[in-house]
Amino acid sequence: MSSPPDPADMTASAIAAAVAARKLSAVEAADAALARIAARDGVLNAFTDVTAERARAKARAVDADIAAGKPVGPLAGVPFAVKNLFDVAGLPTRAGSRINRDRTPASRDATLIERMEAAGAVLVGALNMGEYAYDFTGENVHDGPSRNPHDPTRMSGGSSGGSGSAVGGGLVPVALGSDTNGSIRVPSSFCGIFGLKPTYGRLSRARSFPFVMSLDHLGPFARSVEDLALAYDAMQGPDPDDAACTARGPEPVSNLLSQGLGDLRIAIAGGHFQKNLFPEAAEAVSQVATALKLTQVIDVPEAARARAAAYVISTTEGASLHLDRLRQRPQDFDPAVRDRLIAGAMIPAPMVDRAQKFRRWYRAQVLELFKSVDVLIAPATPCIAPKLGQATFVLDGVELPVRANIGIHTQPISFIGLPVVAVPIPLEPMPIGVQIIAAPWCEHVALRVAHALQQLGVAAAPAPRGVLENGSRSA
């Protein structure tokens, strides 16, 4: 007789259904996640804080509500974790930095944590990240690198590297992260999981530590499209505590996934998005195109220039945020982050003005494209996860710095706030992601395409291959 499944191996949807049906207790689900963290995180280094006492208390409350016949939310008993730039009551909000550890502990959770827990989810901890979210590699000089669950000698991606590592490594079924220039989509690609960067302003950023306020998005990671949608639905809604958050009411997507592709018009992004690729990135896009029977290629005008403008805006806004810290505690920064922020502080104002004017023009041009198509397909990263510490790679015959160029295909999209689902294509020896890009407020469209690819078996989150239950590395 086969043994019952380990709750740590169950999807969020399956956990919530089992807890609601009293086939599994929320405490059992929390304990399984905490045990998995203890067994595997010694290798992955995904967590910076484990909130075990809080998790068990919340799980007991969920179980008590069920025993009393009270209604429970759609995420009842589901363990989750958050990038450590989210405020977690009782913890200082690190944002991946040394300096922030001296901050007073947060007195209240971030809005998205509150909404996840209102839906019944159970917070088990905070996750490693690149310092102040200015990172694409997942390598943190203060906490050590978060490692790839398929090969711990490789990068998890950044800046939400701990989120990608935790979900890809099976520590939690759902995690939250942030994406300014690609920090949800890059870890999703490298770690072989699904990630959603929603439309700019769709999900509240209240009580999270910012990087670039005009570009910052928050969103979920998961190992299935259903779980991604479930978490996304739980977090929607206006929030007066975030001035950029939309006044639109919640627009649930979970019940739309089964609609399939229907008459959606899907094209391959050309031009910039077909350059600067390793063979595996091109193969991933090709597999998606073949599965969806795509033939139309549409050039996204001036995407390379959009990436350059995104850099200008990111580094200048980031520098402005950190000027006092740069003056008072320069020695406590990651030198690479510090130097980029200092450079941003010296960019002339006319250049920033030009970047912002170009941003408005570029957004209008891309929105024009969505009059003739509903979805664009593009690579998420130019390569599979590089080795930890790798400084350069060769793209189109040119040796380039890894850190600066991992986001070459994500930055032109987040620059104008479009919703994107990153889907994992399980190639060998490592997975790699593809971006499913939709028009503003059309997350449901991107998720429908992602779900169709999952149903076709093209997109899938492979089981972690780089960690064993005793915390050691696999061969």
Told to judge if 183 belongs to the known catalytic residues of this protein, a careful annotator would answer yes
pLDDT in tens, 345-365: 999 999 999 999 999 999 999
Looking at 13, 25, 156, 159, which residue is catalytic? 159
Looking at 160, 163, 178, 183, which residue is catalytic? 183
Q: For residue 154, with 0-12 CB atoms within 10 Å meaning exposed, 13-18 middle and 19 or more buried, which class applies?
A: buried
Looking at 13, 25, 58, 83, which residue is catalytic? 83
Told to judge if 414 belongs to the known catalytic residues of this protein, a careful annotator would answer no
Alpha helix ranges (H) inside 276-346: 279-291, 303-328, 335-345
Confidence band, pLDDT 50/70/90 cuts, at residue 466: confident
Q: Please give the pLDDT value at position 471.
A: 61
pLDDT at 114 over 80: yes
Name which of 197, 82, 144 is nearest 433 in CA terms: 197
Q: Please give the pLDDT value at position 1.
A: 41
pLDDT at 303 over 50: yes
Q: How many residues does the chain have?
A: 475
Q: Please give the pLDDT value at position 3.
A: 60
d(CA 381, CA 187): 9
d(CA 170, CA 17): 19
DSSP 3-state of 303: helix
d(CA 431, CA 381): 11
pLDDT in tens, 89-113: 999 999 999 999 999 999 999 999 9
Q: Please give the pLDDT value at position 467.
A: 82
pLDDT in tens, 234-271: 999 999 999 999 999 999 999 999 999 999 999 999 99
pLDDT at 2 over 70: no
The two beta strands, 147-148 and 151-155, are antiparallel
One-letter identity of residue 31: D
Mean pLDDT value across the chain = 96
Q: Please give the pLDDT value at position 475.
A: 46
Rg (CA), the chain: 21
pLDDT mean over 200-209: 98
